Amino acid sequence: MNRTRLLLVDDEEDFVFALAERLRFRKYDTRAATSGEAALSEIEKERPDIVVLDLKMPGMGGMEVLREIKTRDPSIDVIMLTGSVDSEIGEIALRAGATYHIVKPMDIEDLMKKLQDIEKQRGLH
Amino acid sequence: MEADKEEMLRQRQLTVIGKVLAGYAHSMRDRLATIRESDGWLGDLLGQAGHGTEEDRERFGEILSTIERQVKVLDRKSEFLSRLAQRMGTGLCTFDPGEIVEEAVTLSSRSAHLREVFLRPEVAETLPNLYGDPVRVHFLVLILINDMLERTGRSGKIIVRAGSVEKSVLIEIEGSGTLEAVAPPPEEGNQYWSIGQQVVADLGGRLQTTAIGRDKNRTSMILPIKQVPSTSEM
């Protein structure tokens, strides 16, 4: 059975590891990267259907990664994770091409709903 | 000229403090996200068949619920801290006084808890926005709550209300079970009073305190609803 391919990107290793396990548990084909550069390299290796991307990371920040993803392959959906409650930041991410944005700490059910919405819209599995 | 320099310095200090606070709040939220996902992951594993006895699962479930409750509390506090940080150094703008009251109460809840004082906000569902310096108003509400906390004995109660009256917003800090219910004189006798008077006067409002009987004290702040000035006025 083909499963939706996710790429999680966050410099918080413990966070990304736990979230990846939870999404695997929910039958997603999940890979993880802990930097923007590593994320782009993972995308080169294998195209994910959806990227869950942290906004603030050292080095290449989330916004820069988002723009690069959209330049390379606009059909990849990106859910932006932000640690800020400032709704303006989320709106900027949406304008830059993110499909959704979620404020951390997030509710897994909220993330699942957004993943399922994208799967439905894109006709994924 | 000196006053302008002072004001500029103050704004810069607030901006720097705001950046530090924003970074701190962001870092808290990152940690909370990790705790929540780790907690959730453990929950997922325990939910699978064959892990421990029914009793074990119940106990673990209780522990996970406790962690989740604590995450929610900290999440809310960090959200307020984040908002406070964002406002630092913003200067004059339109702001929601109800949001400010709720934040100030949340940020004061630890002090209230340590003093065994019951503290809660009562904010009207609909409240008009105000125009002014939200940092000053926030600061004022915080110091007035702190002042009331200092004057309230154990098992006392403080309610911070925000509502609208005619063309003003009324913020009241009412303490009951106060040890010292006498209203402070307008200009001295209370370290916060003159600062408070100045901040409220700058917003075109007034600040007053009333003793109600022997064990109740109420500080009221009346702030007129101002429109955003047109460019020519600014």
Other CB atoms within 10 Å distance of the CB of residue B27? 14
Note the pTM of the prediction, 2 decimals. Answer: 0.70
Using alpha carbons only, give the angle A112, A116, A118 rounded to the nearest 5 degrees: 120
Distance from CA of B226 to the nearest CA of A (A): 25
Spell out a b/e string for B120-130, using b for 16 or more CB atoms within 10 Å of the CB, else e. ebebeeebeeb
Among candidates B34, B71, B79 on the partner chain, residue whose Cβ is nearest the Cβ of A85: B79
Q: Is the pLDDT of residue B234 over 50?
A: no
Query: Could you read off the pLDDT of B170-228 as tens digits, one per residue?
Result: 999 999 886 554 445 444 556 667 777 878 888 888 888 888 877 888 889 998 887 66
**Side-chain half-sphere CA neighbours of B46 within 13 A:** 19
Judge: A86–B44 Cβ closer than 8 Å, yes or no: no
What is the band of B134 on the pLDDT scale with cuts at 50, 70, 90? Answer: confident
The arithmetic mean of pLDDT across residues A11-22, rounded, is 93
Judge: B44–A105 Cβ closer than 8 Å, yes or no: no
Contact status of A110 with chain B (Cβ, < 8 Å): no
Among candidates B34, B40, B79 on the partner chain, residue whose Cβ is nearest the Cβ of A108: B40
The arithmetic mean of pLDDT across residues B146-174, rounded, is 89
**pLDDT value of position B90:** 72
**pLDDT value of position B190:** 61
Q: Which of A61-65, B33-37, B154-158 has the least mean pLDDT?
A: B154-158
- The DSSP-derived string for A61-94 is -HHHHHHHHHHH-TTSEEEEEES---HHHHHHHH
**Side-chain half-sphere CA neighbours of A12 within 13 A:** 27
Contact status of B33 with chain A (Cβ, < 8 Å): yes
Measured CA to CA, the distance from residue A1 to residue A94 in angstroms comes to: 31
Measured CA to CA, the distance from residue B77 to residue B29 in angstroms comes to: 10
Judge: A84–B26 Cβ closer than 8 Å, yes or no: yes
Q: Looking at beta carbons, which residues of chain A come within 8 Å of B42?
A: none
Chain B nearest-CA residue for A16: B34
As for the ipTM of the complex, it is 0.81
**pLDDT value of position B49:** 67
Measured CA to CA, the distance from residue B177 to residue B143 in angstroms comes to: 19
Give kind and range of the element (H or E) at residue A50. strand A50-54
Measured CA to CA, the distance from residue B128 to residue B33 in angstroms comes to: 34
Q: Looking at beta carbons, which residues of chain A come within 8 Å of B26?
A: 56, 83-84
- Cβ B75 vs Cβ B109: under 8 Å: no
Q: Which of A4-18, B85-99, B138-152 has the least mean pLDDT?
A: B85-99
Alpha helices in B88-192 (DSSP H): 97-114, 134-151
